[in-house]
Structure 1
Amino acid sequence: MRIAFTAPMKPLDDPVPSGDRTMGRLILRALETAGHEVSVASRFRAWRRDGGVDMQLALEAEARREAARIAREWRSDGTRPDAFLTYHLYHKAPDWIGPALAGAFDLPYVVIEASRAPKRRTGPWSHGFAAADAALARADRVAALHSADLGCLKEVVPADRLEICPPFLDEAPFRDAASSRSAATSPLRLLAVGMMRPGDKHASYRLLADALALLAGRPWQLTIAGDGPCRTEIAGWFDPARVTFTGALAEDDMPALYARHDVLVWPAIREAFGFVFLEAQASGLAVVGGDTFGVPEVVADGSSGLLSPEGDTTAFAANIRRLIDDPGLVARLAGGARANIAKRHSLASGAQRLDALMQAAGATYAARSGTLPS
C-alpha cells in the first residue's frame, strides 16, 4: 500500500528531539517493515502554543493551500497514494490536509495517536477542536496509543473504527548495547532522561529532586540527560556530589547511556506514556515511574517497574528505596522489562499492528464507499 503521511503536531525533521518526533519516525519505519511505501506528503505544522480563533482560521487557510498544492502534484505526476495517514491529532494540532486530500482522491483516512478534550469545545481553541473532531469523524480508523484517550474519542469515533495501538520502538540498539552490562551495583546507578523546559518536565524534575532528598542517607548516584531553558534552576535542586549532568545527547548515544545504569527514575507528571520508559526497558533497566495516563500500559507495575501515584513524592521515594535495599528485585524487574518490550512493544509487533490497522481502514472505506479495497 502507498501511504501519504503528515504530522501536524511536529514534523519528523523538526530539530528539537522529543518522544513525539521519535514515535512518528518509528511509525514510518514500522509501516515500511510491513511492506508499505510511505511518503511524507507535507511537513505543515498546525500546532501552536497559544489559542485564538483568528490564528486558527489563518492556519486553516494555509493548510488548505498546502492541500491544494499536494493535489496538483498528485494529479500531474500520477503519485496518488492508496491511503492517507495522520499522526498525532488534537485541538492544538488539527488536520485540515488529510481529510481534504482523502475526500478529493477517494482515499481511506487513518489517524494514529488522537486525543480529545471536550472542555476545549468553547474558548480560544474552539476552532481547532471542531476541526479535529471533523477529521476524527471522517477517519476510517483511529488508533489511540493508550486507553486513557478512548473515553472522549468514543464520543465522536464509532466503536468499530477505534482501537489501541501500543507504542513501540526499535529495541535492537538498546538490547545490544546492554548485552554486557554488569549486575546492579552499590551505589545504585540511577538515570533520568528529559528535556528541561517549563511545565510538566519542570514539575517532574522537582518531584525527583524532592524524592531523592528523602533518600540522602542511602547509596545512590544519579545521571541526568537533557537540557533546556530550565537547566540552571533544575541543577540547583540536586546534590552536585551525587548527580552528573550530561546535557542533551545525540540519539545514537542513548543506548550506551542506558547500558551504564541500573534504574530509570522519572515521575512522568502529565506524561502521555513516556518514550524513555520504552528505551529503558529495552535496555534491561528496572523502572521507577509515575502512574500517569498511558504509563501503566508501557510499564508493567511489579513486573518491569514500580509505579506510584502521580505527584506523590513520598511514594516515589519509597519505590526507589525498595530497589536500593533489594538488588534481587532490581534484577527481577530488569528481566521483566526486557520481556515486556519483546512481547508488546518491539518494532516487529508495531509493524504487525500497523499493517492490520491500515488493512482494516481500507476494508472500512471499501464497505462504506461501495468500492473494492486497493
Structure 2
Amino acid sequence: MARLLMKALDRAGFPPALASEIRTLDKAGDAEVQQRIKEQSLEAASRLITHSRRLAADQRPCLWFTYHVYYKAPDWIGPAVADALHIPYVIAEGSRAAKRAQGPWALNHQGAEAALDRADVILVMTAHDRAALETARPSHQALIDLPPFLDVQEWPEAAPLPRDDFEPRLLTVAMMRDGDKLASYRLLAAALNNVRLQPWTLDIVGDGEARGKVISLFAPFGPRVRFHGQVENKAHLRALYEQADLFVWPAVNEAYGMVLLEAQRFGCPVVAGAYGGVASVVEHETTGLLTDPGDTAAFADALRTLLFDEDRRKRLALSARRFVAEERGLDHAALRLRAALTPLLAKVEA
C-alpha cells in the first residue's frame, strides 16, 4: 500500500520524495527498543530540518505525508519536521488504540497519538478505523475517506490455466505465519470440513514458517487441496485468481486485506470473515459474502450457499470486477488525494 500511495501521489500531481527509511515498528513491545527508535527518529528529523532550511524556498518540502501510524509504529519524524518548516502534516491509515496507553507499547502509543493529534488531515482507509478517529479528532483536523485501492495496470496479462474438472475451485492467498494467519488457516480447514461432502477443490498460495502446520491442517482433504508455495510472478498469480470461482479467507484480525481486492479485480468473489476493515474492501452480498468474525459454522454456510449456486457466483463475480475497476483503481485514488491535499497546499502558498 505504501508503494501504491506513492504512485497515486505522483499521478495526483504531487511527486513524493522518500525522506527517511527509519523503521519505527516494534512488534515485541520492548521499551528500550522504542526509546532507541524515538531518539534515532528525532535525530533524523533534526537533520532533515537543517537540510531543508538550507534549500531555496521553491525546493523545500511543502507537505509531510506519512503512511500507517499506530501504536506499534509511531511517527516521531513527521510532526517535528512539519512544525519546524510550517508545512501541513498528513497521515494515511492512522488508527487509535486507547487500551495501549499503558503496558509494553506505552511509549510508542504516546508517539502515535501525538502524531495523530498533530495531523491536519487523516486519510481514512476503513470504517473500522474511522470510529476511533472521530471520537478523538481535534477541531483542526479533517478526516477524509481514502479506501484501499489497486493499480490495475501493474498486473500483466495471463494465459488461462487449463481446467479439466467441473468442481468449483476455491483459492486462498496468504502467508503461512504463526498467530492470526495460522488461526485463519485453522478456521478455513474447519469450515471446509463442514462442506466436505460438496464438490470443491482448493488452491493455496503462500509460504512461511508455519507451512508444516498448514499442510497438516489440510492433509485430511488429500488431493483436493493443492499447495503452490509463494508465487512471485504476477501473471501466474493473476491466472490463479481468474480461474478460481471463490476466494476464501477467514481474515482473522486483518486490517483489510489487499488480496481480497486483488481477487475481486479478476472476477473472483470473496467469502471472508468480517474482521477489522474487511467490510471496506468487500461489499457484502454484492461482491462476496462476509460472515461474523471467527464463526466457523457461518463461514461454512456461506461457502455451502455459493458452492450450490453457480448463477449467484457469476453475478458476484461481475459485480466484484466492476467494483474494483470503477471505485478502487489508481486514478480514483489520485482524484481523492488531489481533492484532499490541494486545499492544504494552497494555504502554504498563500
What's the TM-score once normalised by structure 2's chain length?
Answer: 0.92
Match of 1:131 among 111, 129, 142: 111
Tell me what 1:94 maps to: 74
Match of 2:38 among 30, 46, 60: 60
The structure-2 alpha-carbon separation of the partners of 1:298 and 1:115, relative to structure 1 and needing over 3 Å to count, comes to: same
Secondary structure of 2:18's counterpart equals strand
Question: CA RMSD, aligned part only?
Answer: 2.1
> Shift of residue 149 of structure 1?
1.1
What's the TM-score once normalised by structure 1's chain length?
Answer: 0.87
Instruction: Judge which range, 271-280 or 321-330, deviates more.
Output: 321-330
2:331 corresponds to 1:348? yes
Match of 1:276 among 237, 259, 262: 259
> Shift of residue 185 of structure 1?
6.6
Answer whether contact 1:109 1:141 (CA < 8 A) is retained: yes
1:248-292 deviation digits (Å, cap 9, x = unpaired) = 111524222212222100111111111111000000101111112
Letter matched to residue 181 of structure 2: K
> Shift of residue 351 of structure 1?
0.9
- Structure 2's unaligned 5+ residue stretches are none
Tell me what 1:35 maps to: 13
Q: How does 1:224-303 map to 2 (within 5 A)?
A: 224-238=204-218, 239-250=221-232, 252=234, 253-303=236-286
> Shift of residue 372 of structure 1?
4.0
Instruction: Judge which range, 167-176 or 342-351, deviates more.
Output: 167-176
The structure-2 alpha-carbon separation of the partners of 1:188 and 1:99, relative to structure 1 and needing over 3 Å to count, comes to: same
Answer whether contact 1:303 1:336 (CA < 8 A) is retained: yes
Secondary structure of 1:136's counterpart equals helix
Answer whether contact 1:174 1:283 (CA < 8 A) is retained: no
Secondary structure of 2:290's counterpart equals strand
Tell me what 1:325 maps to: 308
Instruction: Judge which range, 29-38 or 158-167, deviates more.
Output: 158-167
> Shift of residue 120 of structure 1?
0.9
Work out the CA distance in 2 between the residues paired with 1:38 and 1:340.
Answer: 28
Work out the CA distance in 2 between the residues paired with 1:336 and 1:362.
Answer: 37
1:110-157 deviation digits (Å, cap 9, x = unpaired) = 000001110111122121111111111111101121111122222432
Answer whether contact 1:196 1:230 (CA < 8 A) is retained: yes
Work out the CA distance in 2 between the residues paired with 1:220 and 1:331.
Answer: 16
> Shift of residue 182 of structure 1?
9.6
Match of 1:206 among 186, 198, 214: 186
Letter matched to residue 200 of structure 1: D
Tell me what 2:27 maps to: 49
The structure-2 alpha-carbon separation of the partners of 1:297 and 1:289, relative to structure 1 and needing over 3 Å to count, comes to: same
Tell me what 1:15 maps to: none
- Structure 1's unaligned 5+ residue stretches are 1-22
Tell me what 1:357 maps to: 340
**Percent identity of equivalent pairs:** 41
1:170-212 deviation digits (Å, cap 9, x = unpaired) = 123559548x689997211110011111111111000011111
Tell me what 2:143 maps to: 162
Answer whether contact 2:161 2:239 (CA < 8 A) is retained: no
Instruction: Judge which range, 155-164 or 43-52, deviates more.
Output: 155-164
The structure-2 alpha-carbon separation of the partners of 1:68 and 1:114, relative to structure 1 and needing over 3 Å to count, comes to: same
> Shift of residue 162 of structure 1?
1.4
Match of 2:153 among 150, 172, 176: 172
Secondary structure of 1:191's counterpart equals strand
Work out the CA distance in 1 between the residues paired with 2:249 and 2:164.
Answer: 18
Answer whether contact 1:258 1:280 (CA < 8 A) is retained: yes
Answer whether contact 2:26 2:33 (CA < 8 A) is retained: no
Answer whether contact 1:308 1:319 (CA < 8 A) is retained: yes
Equivalenced residue count is 344
The structure-2 alpha-carbon separation of the partners of 1:174 and 1:184, relative to structure 1 and needing over 3 Å to count, comes to: farther
Secondary structure of 1:30's counterpart equals helix
